[in-house]
Amino acid sequence: MIVLGIETSCDETAVALLRDGREILSSLVYSQTDLHARYGGVMPEAASRDHLRKLPRLVDEALAQAGLAWGDLGLVGVTYGPGLVGPLLVGISYASGVAVARDLPLVGVNHLAAHLFAHRLSEPEAEPPFLGLVVSGGHTLLAAVPRWGEYKVVGTTRDDAAGEALDKFGRLLGLGYPAGPKIGALAREGDPAAVPFPRPMLESGLDMSFAGLKTAAVYWLRDHPGTPPADLCASFLEAVVDVLSEKAVRAARRLSLSRIVVVGGVAANRRLREVLPERAQAWGLAVHFPPPELCTDNAAIVAACAHHRFTELACPGSLSLSPEPNLSLDGWS
Ligand code: KG4
Ligand code: ZN
């Protein structure tokens, strides 16, 4: 079965064609970051219009690249939440149009569950149970995944997502949007111990908080304007990575899960890929990071999640999907 996956929940227009839930025939991601760079964050109205302009062409391009025709499709999967309501509506409307015109089933996908499916695509033989750490620009959460289709959120950020904190900190330094990759690169030349940034809520519990870290950076910059940017980035990133690693290991141990799967844009970060496995190893835990292109927003993960819902959960599909901007991962299947 060939699944057409569509992702428009934020500022990436993404389309993918997936065979039998595992084999990526084509995966195209058009990032709107240039459009939003001048605002220092995502401008929802501009995002919707750009998705509308780009999506149909991207689907044509994906079909051509995979050497497929419309008649080859067996299922359409689309993200219906969480995300920005306008951008979600563009994806859902387009996907519904395709489903009606081609008489195909349409399955709605939770963007956060889709992120976890990066693990299935990158390591097909590695199945749940595992602890999922979803760490992106919009979300930071820990979820127990006893089996695909069953998600129990055990920890979440109380305020900013980790990627959001990195992006806000980057804006302070004038690094542009999104700042995560640039902070990661600069950090490699800096001293992670140069600035004593706080580790909010590190000592106990599974919830996280990253907003105070940005405030600490504002005050530090005010009082120490000469601090080299590389040292600032290395220290800020170290605080974020420290909290994420500590909480993930704590959650896995508490839930007796021996594997941690890290997904979402921040999972592309090299420092996180060094620190977390090191900490986990000390407790005999394994850590899986899908390749960076599957960690950041893409539609192959949406197609994989839709395929699972349709074929393994017998989800019948629906032509009356609506955007759910605050859709939770907890209890979603
Ligand atoms: O998952 P994603 O592509 O989109 C959302 O669903 O949010 O994540 C985007 C976030 C941004 O905050 C970006 O700065 C961060 O992931 N990011 C990184 C890296 N690549 C992307 N953060 C740190 N290091 C990276 N290499
Ligand atoms: Zn995402």
Domain spans of the chain, in order of start: 2-115+295-311, 128-289
Q: Of the bound ligands, which one is closest to the alpha carbon of residue 163?
A: 1
Q: What is the pLDDT of residue 38?
A: 78
User: What CATH homologous superfamily does 2-115+295-311 map to?
Assistant: ATPase, nucleotide binding domain (3.30.420.40)
CA of 227 to the centre of ligand 2 (A): 32
Helix (H), strand (E) counts: the chain: 12, 10
Ligand 1 pocket, residue 167 CB under 6 Å? yes
Atom in ligand 1 nearest the alpha carbon of residue 184: 24
264 CA closest ligand 1 atom index: 1
Exposure string of 84-108, with b = 16+ CB inside 10 Å and e = fewer, is bebbbbbbbbbbbebbeeeebbbbb
Tell me the pLDDT band of 223, cut-offs 50, 70 and 90: very high
> How high is the pLDDT of residue 299?
98
**CATH annotation of 128-289:** 3.30.420.40
256 has pLDDT over 90: yes
Distance in Å, CA 11 to ligand 2 centroid:
10
Q: Is 82 in the pocket of ligand 1 (CB under 6 A)?
A: no
**142 beta partners:** 133, 155
137 lines ligand 1 (CB under 6 A): yes
CATH topology agreement for domains 2-115+295-311 and 128-289: yes
Q: How far is the CA of 292 from the centre of ligand 1 (A)?
A: 10
pLDDT category of residue 34 using cuts at 50, 70 and 90: confident
Query: Model-level pTM?
Result: 0.96
